[in-house]
Amino acid sequence: MTLDEPDCQEIERLLAELLDNVGAVTLILDCAALSKNTQARTRFLRLARESSARGTLTLKKLLWHWSGLRRHDEEEKALLSPEAIIEALKAEIRKTKSPAVHRLLPASTPMDVESR
For residues 28-49, give the mean pLDDT: 94
pTM exceeds cut of 0.75: no
pLDDT band at 115 (very low <50, low <70, confident <90, very high): very low
Q: What is the pLDDT of residues 50-60, one digit of tens each?
A: 999 988 888 88
User: Please, what is the average pLDDT of the chain?
Assistant: 77
Helix ranges (H only) for 1-116 are 5-34, 38-79, 82-95, 99-103, 110-115
Q: Per-domain residue ranges for the chain?
A: 1-79, 81-116
Which has more confidence, 71 or 93?
A: 71
All residues at 6 or more sequence positions from 92 whose CB lies less than 8 Å from its CB, including other chains: none
In the predicted model, is pLDDT for residue 48 greater than 80?
yes
For residues 15-21, give the mean pLDDT: 89
DSSP string across 43-62 = HHHHHHHHHHHHHHHHHHHH
How far apart CA 86 and CA 54 sit, in angstroms, is 48
